[in-house]
Structure 1
């Protein structure tokens, strides 16, 4: 039987979709602005890419560790109950970080302030994916619904990449034309407003999955496949982090600081184009195989970055490197949805999002140190190393990515089967 294909037009006509997609876009745009804004503010006020990369890394580590916990709380208590306090804390934390940086506080103060700023980043992308599962699942289990889930994940990856195109450019433009602090103020304002509006869209939110009395609820991370995917996606995060710091440093070294956001945007733009194409193809190859192939192409693309002599060639190399990003992430999110029960899906998505953040943290920190010691080109070795290690893990342990053969997915702790759960197995291919 020929693979079922669902286009973006049919997906976006899903009843209620735009009520959460529009505010979600506003709320997730700042995700790509935060790291760039912190990087440019701290480098501007302290004069060190190493210090700037470390502060950025701490914020990303906090987001990576706390994000899955907020995802788990959203599964249990509802998205609005988690989002409302989260966006308020984020706005206050970013404001404190700005004040400390402008006041030239001791570096350790910036490290401390970066923790709540990163930990309070709202997990909008994971929440949107969970809403797609709930909304499409309400239509009933079928090959068409499973195909729509796959298209929805492709659409979300494209949206993520679009924010990574616009976010760094917007942050860099505001930082250079107004001030670095203004870029972070904009980030906090968009997060706060977008998050509040998104939280009010309760009709499309997934149902809470409170466990029965006495039942213990397992974490999504208990699945070996989820752990593998988190580790593999960590390598993709290292590509993001190494690219952000290295592109900024490289642009500085050739006297074109304002071009950094554009170069990074081209890299993310390549991923966005690949994501669009991925979502309109009716794939015959299994998703596990697609992920291995796209990850291998990512390693090949990253292998050329360190040798580029100028911004033009770096932009071209970054474009080809970016073409492998979205297919890798779409495959990862598609796989992780099949590996967990319904009541842990938001948490599972946040583990992957958190892994990106953690990889970004490590990548930006290591790249910053390499740049300070050996020049901007050395920083591009970080994306190559991160992607290379991720590929080794993926190839050697890909057998863990086969979904459990359940007689029927059940909501964690409830024992009730739901339509979204029935889509998991069909989404595998």
Structure 2
């Protein structure tokens, strides 16, 4: 698809958002991508309220996250093959029904196994709106220098979602009803998902089955070494989100002020969003691979002090620092996908990364919940540290695979694919 953007020597956010037709999928897409940010904390708050156990709440949330991580790439693969609308319509309806069933079972004090049964389809059916929006940008801006700006914009949108989603879910659960967070999540999914699916003109064209770009074999995103490294890195990022959600909730309970949970998590997520805006506004001289590594080192160092902090002010400051360090790693990782993966597997690649965050979040919610129950909130904060350390070791050891040339036998083809689309994210981007 040819680019619909007029040439401008200074591409930036302003020009990006003036691209014809983009608001038709951006607005419903923003509403429909809230489930990823609201679902875990909504489950934790509701199940902890009905069972009195952070461990049980974390386990149910983890079942949802694992299910999402396993099914998200398959959803992305199906969207690449059959079109986004064909995947979204049944997915949105199944997700809404599954969340409703999980909420009703929790309020009815159903046994834990019943909650697990409902958690599986709840996670499996989470609409993969973020990856689908990224794929629409790629189709809309094929060959345009605005593609790096679009990648930064989407990452900032993700960060903003993590500011709005958890804070909204927490406020609804604390101020309205323990189930209000999940009810709002289901409603946003239904309305936003259906509106997003209705935008047929902007969805990427479906390429012929058995082809990557209409001329060669279809490439699986996970067969690319760089994507496998990024999956591990995003698992570590997920451990930060999950560990922070549970541990901040437990910390707020320990000090006798549950309402401070939303404030602390909002500061953490707000730092993430602000850093994302800055990353998109800076004309970087370094490439995204280096930014991923540097951001991850900073994230690991910041997460290392969480367990030792016992005051609200210090925890807010350190949480802000942790949030500031997440964005460079996330944005760099998503930007690398554009140069590592051909167009026919791009939605799948984005869903692998999204699924990795969900899986890391699920594991962290489980571990942090058990530790918080047994040893208190401080022990729960050890989980983000362990997750980031392990991922950082892997990232430093295998960072050469994040280069297109490091893709083994597929590298040359991927470089050619990138050249054909005119995309190179190593060039600095000026932003309005």
Say whether the fold is shared (TM-score over 0.5): yes
User: May I ask how many residue pairs the two structures share in their alignment?
Assistant: 411
What's 1:249 paired with?
A: 250
Q: What's the Cα RMSD here?
A: 1.8
The reply to whether residue 70 of structure 1 matches residue 68 of structure 2 is no
What's 2:267 paired with?
A: 266
Shift of 1:63: 0.5
Return the alpha-carbon distance in structure 2 between the equivalents of residues 112 and 428 of structure 1: 45
Aligned pairs for 1:202-241 (under 5 A) are 202-212=200-210, 217-241=218-242
Deviations 1:57-95 (CA, angstroms, capped at 9, x unpaired):
110111111001000100011111100000000000001
Return the alpha-carbon distance in structure 2 between the equivalents of residues 311 and 182 of structure 1: 26
Return the alpha-carbon distance in structure 1 between the equivalents of residues 239 and 249 of structure 2: 16
Distance 1:58 1:421, change over 3 A: farther
Would you say the 8 A contact 2:340–2:414 is kept in 1? no
What's 2:357 paired with?
A: 356
What's 1:149 paired with?
A: 147
Deviations 1:325-371 (CA, angstroms, capped at 9, x unpaired):
11110100111221122100000000000000000000111001111
Q: Secondary structure, in 3 states, of the residue corresponding to 1:71?
A: helix
- Structure 1 regions of 5+ residues with no counterpart? 411-416
Would you say the 8 A contact 1:336–1:349 is kept in 2? yes
Distance 1:312 1:284, change over 3 A: same
Aligned pairs for 1:335-350 (under 5 A) are 335-350=336-351
What's 2:109 paired with?
A: 104
The reply to whether residue 406 of structure 1 matches residue 412 of structure 2 is yes
Would you say the 8 A contact 1:136–1:420 is kept in 2? no
Task: Pick one of 39, 42, 63 that aligns with 1:58.
Answer: 63
What's 1:195 paired with?
A: 193
What's 1:177 paired with?
A: 175
Would you say the 8 A contact 1:6–1:280 is kept in 2? no
Distance 1:307 1:420, change over 3 A: same
Shift of 1:172: 1.0
Would you say the 8 A contact 2:13–2:153 is kept in 1? yes
Q: Secondary structure, in 3 states, of the residue corresponding to 1:64?
A: helix
Return the alpha-carbon distance in structure 2 between the equivalents of residues 312 and 176 of structure 1: 21
Distance 1:174 1:232, change over 3 A: same
Shift of 1:286: 1.6
Return the alpha-carbon distance in structure 1 between the equivalents of residues 99 and 206 of structure 2: 30
Q: After the TM superposition, which of the residue ranges 62-71 and 180-189 deviates more from structure 2? A: 180-189
Return the alpha-carbon distance in structure 2 between the equivalents of residues 296 and 254 of structure 1: 31
Return the alpha-carbon distance in structure 1 between the equivalents of residues 386 and 12 of structure 2: 36
Task: Pick one of 108, 126, 133 that aligns with 2:131.
Answer: 126
Q: Secondary structure, in 3 states, of the residue corresponding to 1:230?
A: helix
Would you say the 8 A contact 1:67–1:119 is kept in 2? yes
What's 1:94 paired with?
A: 99
Shift of 1:277: 0.7
- Structure 2 regions of 5+ residues with no counterpart? 1-8, 406-410, 428-432
What's 2:430 paired with?
A: none
Would you say the 8 A contact 1:5–1:280 is kept in 2? no
